[in-house]
Each structure stands twice: as structure tokens, then as C-alpha cells.
Chains A and B, each alone.
Chain A
Amino acid sequence: MLAPAGDYRTSYREDMTIFPTRNSRIALWLGIALLCLAPLALGRYELGLLINIGFLGIAALGLNILVGFTGQISIGHAAFFGFGAFASAWLHEVAHIPVALCIPLAGLMTAAVGLVFGAPAARLKGLYLAIATLAAQFILEDFFARAQWFTGGVAGRITEPFTLFGWVADREQSYFYVVLAWTIIMFVAAANLMRTRDGRALVAVRDHYLSAEMMGINLAYYRTLSFGIASFYAGIGGALYAHYLLFVSVEAFNILFSIQFLGMVIIGGLGSVMGSLMGAAFMVLLPEVVQVAADALSGSAIDRALRLGASISFLREMAIGAAIILFLIFEPDGLARRWRLIRAYWKLYPYSH
């Protein structure tokens, strides 16, 4: 879309590159280099936010593959995120597997669970599927609360920081690199997935399932596969969360969190790989911004006039709800589209027509 004039693709290979122009590739490497330097410049608070964006972005990307690319729906994503978190902590505690290995293993375990709960997707669509995934949310949540051996029950499970060959990532400055590496791997993998036969099959299922089936795409297989992939991403994100917070508790993985994941995907942009990261960034930064606003408000004239008092803390939740509604009305294609428009504006400036 934004290829410079005279740049004709002469092979399929060229047509499929993720970063089509030289400038975009330079920007990519520069961006990664800058992020690698971030721990030198940023404080622990800012790094903490970036880490949050990283693991939530990975999980949101999983949901985007399911919702945005395959056209399915899931309102149980937080449960899979939680399963990954518990699985990683459990593997480390029981089998004494190094954390670095626990994270991908937890992803695989979650994928297996996701395939089981995704099985109804082979036969159900739309609202019915939504309700089926809601059931997954409740079944898993209850399982977390009761499976003492796996989750530590309602008291939760304490886990250990990430280590690799004696290097311990127990602080934001070091754990940031772990999350950064995983984020890059998972996002590159997703971008590549969409270029493969399987990825295109997923998109075909979304666009028109009947046509897809007539083209020889096995609907049941791809719908279930999509659940597996989404759960794998959720599991990796959850495992990264577990070894960041070092404490996993069933309370975190409720249905509200699942809805937040949907919010990230919608705000970021359905069917956009980078949009998932943008949506996660938005969801992480919005409460912080609202908190700053609330702190500024508390004790002020508005606070006194409206008698907000203690309920000022509810502003946070309300702001998230309002943001989702506003995005659905004014930017249904999400932040990803807004970003493309901004880029196009600068690229074409001053001859925007």
C-alpha cells in the first residue's frame, strides 16, 4: 500500500516481505536497538510498564489470531493466560525444570488445553461459541481454585525468577530483555504464520467459511488449530507474567481480564499483528494516565463538587469501558489503522493528494 513509486514486485517472494521498504527495515533495527538500551535510560517503573506491555501483547496477539484472523470468538482468554502462568510455576516447582525451559513448555501445555476447549469451535459459531468459551473460563477458574497440587489452591503459588546459565533476571532491568526477546520471537512467528498456507487458510475461514470449505480447507481442523495457537500465545504470555510477578493467584484470571484482552484486540485493530501490541500498550498505559488524572483531581474543586472521594478509584475501570466504546465508534479498525494513516501523512507530506 505504501510502496514507493517505481517499486514493482517481480516475484512472489518480494510480495510477501513483512517489511517492504529499506527505510522500514532500518526503522525496525533502530527500534530494537533503542529498546535494548531502554534499561540504561528508564527507571524501574517505566520498565515495569514495558514488561507488562510485552507479555500482555503476546497474549493479545494470540487472541487476535483467533478473533481477528480466523473470525472466531473467545471470552476465556484470561483462563488460558492463567493456565500458562500456573503451568510454568508448577513445572519449575515439581519437576525442577529451569525457568527458561518452563516458559515454552507451559506454552505447549496451554496449547494442549486450548485444543481441548477449542473442540466445540469445530461445530459452533458466533454467540454459541462465545458461550462455549465462557464455559472454559469458568471451568478453568474453578480448577485453579481447587487443584491444590497444580496451583497451590486459592492461596496461590510463589515462583522463582528467570535464570539462564547463572544469569538471574530478577529485576526489571534484566527481565526486560527476556520479555523483549520473547515478544520479538512471538511477533515474528505470527507475522510469518500469516504468510504460510495455514495462515492464509485461517484468513479464508474468517472471510467466508463456505467458500473456504469449497476450496478444500478443512474447517474443523483450522478452527481448532486456531484455538491451539491462541492458547499457545496466551500460555507464553502467562508464563512470562508468572516469572515477573513471582506470584500466581487464581484471583487474577477472572472474566474481566478476558474482556480486557478482547478490548486490547479491538482497540489495537482486529487482524493486525502490530495492532495487538498497540492495544496492549494502550490498555497498560490508560490506567496509569487515568491514575495520574485521578490523583490530580482528588482534593480539587471537581472532586468536592461531585463528592468523588473514595470512588475516584473506580474512574480507572470506567475509563477502560469508555475507551472501548469510543474506539468502536470512531476507530473500528483500531490503533493499527490510525498508525498507518499517521505514517502515510508524514510520508506524503506536503503532497497528501
Chain B
Amino acid sequence: MSMRRRLLGAVAAAALALPAAAQAQPIPVGHLMDNSGATSDVGVPYGQGVSDALQWVNRTRNGINGRPLNVLGFDYGYQAPRAVSQYQAWSRDRVVAIQGWGTADTEALIRFVTRDRIPYISGSYSAALTAPKGRTDRAGVEAAPYNFFYGPSYSDALRAMLIWAKQDWESRGQQGRPRYVHMGANHPYPNSPRAAGEAMAQELGFEVLPAIQFALTPGDYTAQCLTLRNQGAHYAYLGNTAGSNISVLRACQTAGVQVQFLGNVWGMDENAMKAAGTAANGVVFPVRTAAVWGQEAPGMQTLQQISRISDPQGQVYRPVHYLAGVCSAMLMVEAMETAAANGGQVTGERIRDGFYARQDWVPRGFEGVCAPSNFSPDDHRGQLRVALYRARVTGDTTQGSVGELIRAGTMRLEPVTTIELERRAEWLGW
């Protein structure tokens, strides 16, 4: 072949490729992670789930309508100010949606994302993010029309756990009023469901004790456990993430404190069960997915494919937060697909409307894994069904990986009950 013909061929190929390249312009999406901060214990698996799912969409589904996602990841170390400055950098890159993380930063960004019309799918399930039109009758509930998350809000999850606690109290034939206490750091995230939980506990006839504080980082919380015992609490809510909750559980086990702990959705998982050992036995907490790793479900195969993105051997056990990360990424992906359908532009506004397009919404291919969500322009409480599980740890967890311990039955997640909350208007936003 002569040089000239080869050149001609190259030019022709380039000419063919150019329009295709122009069409497949990547869609910029922000991904805020905590891989190094106070909540990195649960932030790492969640962030991995989000990032694997988005990569998987690029590889197997050819992105959104042929346009790949350009995921801009940033580890902000759970520092709200860093998240805000990163948000400003992203708004310069014209991201159309953001996968976020913590409560402090998500709440700080509400006004910004509303102004810039950028849907923000957070890892924070603070109830303050569920009122798209805000509330005039409650202080501090701003309009958050661009905030979404996958799962029941912290407040609703806690309400469900309190309903269960009440049933548990009665079914065990206990006399008198049960005593409830809120535990957590003085930080927007643990504080978020505090008022809602205490009001619900009052309503259900609990005696509400003064809240107990412990930091978001692991430490010695023996003093807090002794306070628990002295107060005579029966049900204690752990508002922090797994790492510091483990410290409390272990300290209370050592001190011999007998309390039924109710974990936040980020407060317990398989890794924490291994770390806490038998101290974690009996903790009740909400699980956001209809199945956990290793169980059979129609959508589980898709999930295993996604998991292979970052674990080609398929050996790693994925904790509940990984699954939740995948589901929340897939909600965003499908909302973007709705926006792009029929040649539509993938803009923030259209993605937001994509969140309203379906009823009992389970992302395609994730049936039996992702729980159904319902969003409406007046109400962003996506889920009001709360599945409660109990952590069961029957033996020594120091040997073997999480996957092995689960297979051996040393640790397991045991379904307790599913509470269906009413969609009460006065609960919106707090």
C-alpha cells in the first residue's frame, strides 16, 4: 500500500470518527467521598459502590444515551468547608448532578444547588432534605427541591425503630414506661433525627432521657456507658457511624450494660460486626436494600457484575453500604436516562424531573435488591418502608474475613420486621 493511500485511509477514518466523537461528549458528574475523614469507615464502601456502578454504566450500557459519564471524584475528608469549595469548582466544570455524602456539607449546599439547579444525591438522609418546598411552620426547614437520597430519612428510620421498640417492650411483657435515650456527637449528622426521635418517643409513651454525647471518632466511651446504666435506659439510639459506635458497644459490653441499641443506618454493618464482635450482637438497625450480599435476588447478578469492576476476582464481601451506594447511583443514572430520552438535554432541571417519572421505582436490573422509591415535587421522602434487621454475632470474629464469617454463620443479618410509616404531612422535613 502506498503512503498516500494509507494517509487517505487515515483521513477518511478520522472524518468518520469526528462526528461520533462530537456526539459522545462526556457528561460531567461530581462524586464527593469521605475516604479519609471521620466517617470514612462507611464512606469508603459507599463511595466504592457509587463509583463502581457509574463505571459499570459507562462500560456495559455505553453511558447515558451513548454519552459516557465523566465522574469527577473528590475526597473531602468529611470537612464541610472543603466540600463547599469543591462544589464551587464543580459548578465551574458544569456538572449536571452530584453524588454527595455528609449531612453538614449537604445541608450547607442546599441553597447553592437550588440556585444552580444541580440535583444532589446525598449519602446524608437528613429529613431536612426531604421538603422540596420547605416549610414555613418549622424553623430551619428550607426548600430543597434538588436534594434526593436513596433510603428512609434518618428521622423516619428512627421513628420506625421506636415503633418496633414499643412492640418489643410489650411483647416481652415488660411493665412501666420504657426509657429512651439519644446518643451521638454534637454534629449535624447525629443531631439530625434527634428532635424527631424524641418527639416520637414521647408520642409512643417512652420516657425520654437527656441525650448522651460521644465523638464521631473511636475512643474510650466507658463514661457514656455508665451514664446509660445510671439513667436506667432501655432503648438507646446510636447516631454516629460504625467506627465510634463500635467503641460504645465494646465499652458497654465490658461495663456490663444491658441496653437494646438502635443503630442509625450508617451505624452498623458487617465490617462493624466483625470489629465489635459479640458486643454488636442484638443491635437493631435499618437496612436500605431488599437483600444483602450473598442472598438470592433477581438483581443480585447485576450487583456481582458491578462488584467485579473493582474486584475482578469476585472474592470481596460487599457490606450493606456498598449496595446502597450502587442503588443511589442507579437512581441518578435512570433519572438522567429519563432526561435524555427522546433527544432531550441532560440538564439539572430535567434530571430532577426524571426523579418524579416513576412510581415504586426500582432501577432496571436491580429488582429484589434496591428497595422501591417514590419521589414527588412536593415530597422527597423516597422511602417510608423501613426494613429492620438485627446483627447476630455468635462467636469469635477475630479470625477470618467478613465473607468467611458470614458463610460460617458466625455473623449474620437477621430480618426483624418491616415497619410501614404513614406519609404524615407534619413529619415532612424533620
Measured CB to CB, the residues of A under 8 A from B are 43-45, 48, 145-146, 154-156, 158, 245-249, 251-252, 310, 313-314
- Closest beta carbon of chain B to A45's beta carbon, Å: 6
The distance in angstroms between the C-alpha atoms of A245 and B75, with both chains bound, is: 18
B35's contact among A154, A249, A252, A313, by CB below 8 Å, is which? A313
Decide: A155 and B107 in contact? CB cutoff 8 A.
yes
- Closest beta carbon of chain B to A124's beta carbon, Å: 30
Scoring B residues 275 to 290 as 1 if CB is less than 8 Å from chain A, else 0, what string do you get?
0000000000000000
Judge whether B14 is part of the interface by a CB distance below 8 angstroms.
Answer: no
The distance in angstroms between the C-alpha atoms of A150 and B186, with both chains bound, is: 16
Q: Size band of the B side of the interface?
A: 20 to 34
- Closest beta carbon of chain B to A239's beta carbon, Å: 15
Judge whether B188 is part of the interface by a CB distance below 8 angstroms.
Answer: yes
Decide: B89 and A45 in contact? CB cutoff 8 A.
yes
- Whether A154 touches B92, Cβ cut-off 8 Å, given contacts A245-B81, A247-B84, A252-B79, is no
Judge whether B394 is part of the interface by a CB distance below 8 angstroms.
Answer: no
Cross-chain pair count, CB within 8 angstroms: 55
- Which residues does chain B contribute within 8 Å of A156, judged by CB atoms? 80, 104, 108
- Whether A245 touches B104, Cβ cut-off 8 Å, given contacts A154-B191, A313-B75, is no
- Whether A310 touches B75, Cβ cut-off 8 Å, given contacts A156-B104, A245-B81, is yes
Decide: B111 and A158 in contact? CB cutoff 8 A.
yes
Judge whether B36 is part of the interface by a CB distance below 8 angstroms.
Answer: yes
B36's contact among A45, A145, A314, by CB below 8 Å, is which? A314
The distance in angstroms between the C-alpha atoms of A158 and B107, with both chains bound, is: 10
The distance in angstroms between the C-alpha atoms of A314 and B187, with both chains bound, is: 24
- Which residues does chain B contribute within 8 Å of A247, judged by CB atoms? 80-81, 84, 108
Given A155-B191, A310-B75, 6 extra CB contacts under 8 A: A48-B89, A154-B104, A158-B111, A249-B81, A249-B108, A313-B77
- Which residues does chain B contribute within 8 Å of A248, judged by CB atoms? 81
Decide: A251 and B88 in contact? CB cutoff 8 A.
no
Decide: A251 and B104 in contact? CB cutoff 8 A.
yes
Decide: B35 and A251 in contact? CB cutoff 8 A.
no
Scoring B residues 45 to 81 as 1 if CB is less than 8 Å from chain A, else 0, what string do you get?
0000000000000000000000000000001010111
- Which residues does chain B contribute within 8 Å of A155, judged by CB atoms? 104, 107-108, 188, 191
- Closest beta carbon of chain B to A299's beta carbon, Å: 13
Judge whether B345 is part of the interface by a CB distance below 8 angstroms.
Answer: no
- Which residues does chain A contribute within 8 Å of B107, judged by CB atoms? 155
Judge whether B418 is part of the interface by a CB distance below 8 angstroms.
Answer: no
Judge whether B398 is part of the interface by a CB distance below 8 angstroms.
Answer: no
- Closest beta carbon of chain B to A297's beta carbon, Å: 15
21 contacts between A and B (CB under 8 A): A45-B89, A48-B85, A48-B89, A145-B186, A154-B104, A154-B186, A154-B187, A154-B188, A155-B104, A155-B191, A156-B108, A158-B108, A247-B81, A249-B80, A249-B81, A249-B104, A251-B80, A251-B81, A251-B104, A252-B81, A310-B36
Judge whether B24 is part of the interface by a CB distance below 8 angstroms.
Answer: no
Judge whether B44 is part of the interface by a CB distance below 8 angstroms.
Answer: yes
- Closest beta carbon of chain A to B33's beta carbon, Å: 9
- Which residues does chain B contribute within 8 Å of A146, judged by CB atoms? 186
- Which residues does chain B contribute within 8 Å of A44, judged by CB atoms? 92
The distance in angstroms between the C-alpha atoms of A252 and B79, with both chains bound, is: 7
- Which residues does chain A contribute within 8 Å of B108, judged by CB atoms? 155-156, 158, 247, 249
Residue in B closest to A311 when the chains form the complex, CB atoms:
B36
The distance in angstroms between the C-alpha atoms of A44 and B89, with both chains bound, is: 8
- Which residues does chain B contribute within 8 Å of A314, judged by CB atoms? 36
A45's contact among B75, B77, B92, by CB below 8 Å, is which? B92
The distance in angstroms between the C-alpha atoms of A247 and B88, with both chains bound, is: 12
Residue in A closest to B107 when the chains form the complex, CB atoms:
A155
The distance in angstroms between the C-alpha atoms of A48 and B89, with both chains bound, is: 9
Max chain A C-beta neighbours (<10 A), residue from B81, B92, B111: B81
The distance in angstroms between the C-alpha atoms of A340 and B242, with both chains bound, is: 54
- Which residues does chain B contribute within 8 Å of A45, judged by CB atoms? 89, 92
The distance in angstroms between the C-alpha atoms of A248 and B80, with both chains bound, is: 9
Scoring B residues 94 to 123 as 1 if CB is less than 8 Å from chain A, else 0, what string do you get?
000000000010011001100000000000
